[in-house]
Amino acid sequence: MSTPSAPPPCPHLAAHRLSSRPLRFLRRCLRVRPLGRPEIRRDPRELPRCSPCAAASPSQSPRLYACLSCAAVFCPSHAASHASASAGPGHQIAVDVDRAELFCAACGDQVYDPDFDHAVFLAQSSSLLPSTSSTSPSPAPRKRRRVDYRAWAPDPAEFALMSSADPTTSASAAAPAGLRGLNNLGNTCFMNSVLQALLHAPPLRNYFLGDRHNRFLCPRRTPVRHRATEADAAKVACLACDLDEIYSAAFSGERMPYSPAKFLYSWWQHASNLASYEQQDAHEFFISILDHIHENIKDDQHKSHAQGHGDCCIAHRVFSGILRSDVTCTSCGFTSTTFEPCMDISLDLDIGDNTPFGVANTKPHVRNGERGLAGMNSKVSTLMRCLERFTRAERLDAEQKFFCERCDERQESLKQMSIRRLPLVSCFHIKRFEHSAVKKVSRKVDHCLQFPFSLDMAPYLSSSILRSRYGNRIFPAEASDADAVSELSSEFEIFAVITHSGKLEAGHYVTYLRLNNHWYKCDDAWVTRVEEHTVRTSQAYMLFYVQKTLYYKACERAAAV
């Protein structure tokens, strides 16, 4: 797959640059609103209007543009008429009044200029730089202790004040914060669905809204004019900074759909093999985003540790868990144990034996005279049955014989997975896309999955699995895991569901968000409220659960999670 080439430069912008001074002078015409959004500086008593149609911003016309040559304000259609009617060069280029973005009226599209981007960058940076600096060393953090996390809730006086602020809308009926649609940029529903889930993951949301990663002060951020080549741009591109910008846009209070074009371009720079407008897999995108955020932040881990942020990145602090794998020799009983980190858990749908795509060589293990629940043939799959299937013991094939250290030869064996440490946010990936190596075909499994809104992960922890396996005969080697009590709660509640509809080669991703005990459907730019039944009957592809009890570190520079 070839990397898409950059679009040709706008000829009208090139002509304007030759006939005018650099656009860097527009910095003094910019101001930065809260949450870092730039706009054109103007008298607050003035209301920009399109002279021909007398459209005021922002109630009637979504966009108003000011001509860079004569400062006349027009809507998009009249801006094109103004550009064609003006004889001199430069009237084709205008600037968005509310968004501080360049627009070519002749081409009908946004254009980009390095000098103008640098002016915006300087304006944003200067607005957030501290007025005074201190050279005194930061105080040493106090001893950390666990403190219950309590979300803010308005008291009766605050609730009454918020209700009276807008007489037409009560506080209880207002849309939840951060609920904003994302424009589809060309088969990017896979990206929008994952971004919506990340935007509302409580620990990740608290991290970015708590200003733990400030994109204007990030050491990796470099003005566009300092990037000599595309390779240099790929080195300095920081997905955490772009994600911070999306958080600012989503929680700015605006309801118009947002276009995550900068985030998409930065991701293309990190994953050039996936840089195209073709449909991608949402799960692969999710893993790719977490990996690249980790790569961006790990270079500054020593700085983060010195500031009390901990010694691992936010992606791992939120999503990373540890799996335990036990392989037991059926001849002598020797068990080999390995541990591996995981960012999510991929689960097979329990579709029984009525499908040619089933695992033919996997034999269910009989424990205490009963077959595992996941081995039973049923037309209804549940998330608990999928987890039971994931953590049950299975006999390995003859081709996968385990080399037993005690027998000093390859023997038949049983393998069992369990969860040693739970993450703050558990992501379950449902394997709906199956590939048959025998029949050389692929298909999507359109199978209903029932999932609970509250989930207890205790039965699938290593401590529970070991106690079920050995009972009271726990050996010293396993005692540390069997008796270990996790610092994190095993009770989870759902907050996001990503679904896939359509066929394997052509489908659509949608995210359902649970906010304030109500469900909202995020279908790219469209956000609507739906009933609980709609979510329960959807074809879940990725499920996101967060721990019911969150803890944060009570120290001078406490982390957000």
Positions marked catalytic: 189, 508
pLDDT band at 421, cuts 50/70/90?
Answer: very high
Q: Are 182 and 196 in contact, with CB atoms under 8 Å apart?
A: yes
List b or e across 273-302, with b for residues whose CB sees 16 or more CB atoms inside 10 angstroms. Answer: ebbeeebbbbbebbbbbbebbbebbeebee
pLDDT, tens digit (0-9, with 9 covering 90-100), for 272-317 = 767 677 788 899 999 999 988 887 666 555 444 444 444 468 899 9
Q: Are 116 and 134 in contact, with CB atoms under 8 Å apart?
A: no
Distances (CA, A) of 473 to 277, 420, 467, 542: 57, 20, 8, 38
pLDDT band at 530, cuts 50/70/90?
Answer: very high
Asked if the structure places residue 413 within a domain, the reply is: no
Examine the domain organization and report whether 221 and 254 are in the same domain.
Answer: yes
pLDDT at residue 141 tops 70: no
What pLDDT, on the 0 to 100 scale, is given for residue 177?
87
pLDDT, tens digit (0-9, with 9 covering 90-100), for 34-61 = 555 666 766 665 667 777 776 444 445 5
Residues 6+ apart with CB under 8 A from 31: 38, 39, 40, 41, 123
Show the domain range for 115.
11-128
| Strands (DSSP E) found in 171-301 | none
Q: What is the mean pLDDT of residues 78-101?
A: 78
Domain boundary pick from 68, 93, 128: 128
Asked if the structure places residue 326 within a domain, the reply is: no
What pLDDT, on the 0 to 100 scale, is given for residue 43?
61
pLDDT above 90: percentage of residues in the chain: 28
Examine the domain organization and report whether 370 and 310 are in the same domain.
Answer: no
CATH of the domain at 529: 3.90.70.10
pLDDT, tens digit (0-9, with 9 covering 90-100), for 368-381 = 333 333 343 445 68
Asked if the structure places residue 407 within a domain, the reply is: no
Asked if the structure places residue 58 within a domain, the reply is: yes
Domain boundary pick from 73, 95, 128: 128
What pLDDT, on the 0 to 100 scale, is given for residue 58?
44
Query: Is residue 88 left, alpha or beta, with left meaning phi > 0 and alpha meaning psi from -120 to 50?
Result: beta
CATH of the domain at 15: 3.30.40
Examine the domain organization and report whether 494 and 370 are in the same domain.
Answer: yes
pLDDT at residue 337 tops 70: yes
Q: Collapse the DSSP code of 160 into the 3-class scheme (helix H, G, I; strand E, B; otherwise coil) and give the result.
A: helix
Pairing status of strand 507-515 against strand 518-523: antiparallel
Asked if the structure places residue 136 within a domain, the reply is: no
Examine the domain organization and report whether 366 and 487 are in the same domain.
Answer: yes
Task: Output the six-digit token pair for 262.
Answer: 């900068």
Examine the domain organization and report whether 66 and 200 are in the same domain.
Answer: no
Distances (CA, A) of 399 to 333, 338, 402, 516: 20, 20, 9, 51
Asked if the structure places residue 426 within a domain, the reply is: yes
- Cα–Cα distance between 97 and 95 in angstroms, integer? 6
What pLDDT, on the 0 to 100 scale, is given for residue 499?
95
What pLDDT, on the 0 to 100 scale, is given for residue 489?
77
Q: What is the mean pLDDT of residues 532-550?
A: 92
Examine the domain organization and report whether 44 and 184 are in the same domain.
Answer: no
User: How many domains does the chain contain in total?
Assistant: 3
Q: What is the mean pLDDT of residues 319-339?
A: 89
Examine the domain organization and report whether 368 and 287 are in the same domain.
Answer: no
- Largest distance between two CA atoms of the chain: 91
Q: Is the peptide bond between 156 and the residue preceding it cis, with omega within 30 degrees of 0?
A: no
pLDDT, tens digit (0-9, with 9 covering 90-100), for 198-215 = 999 999 999 999 888 888
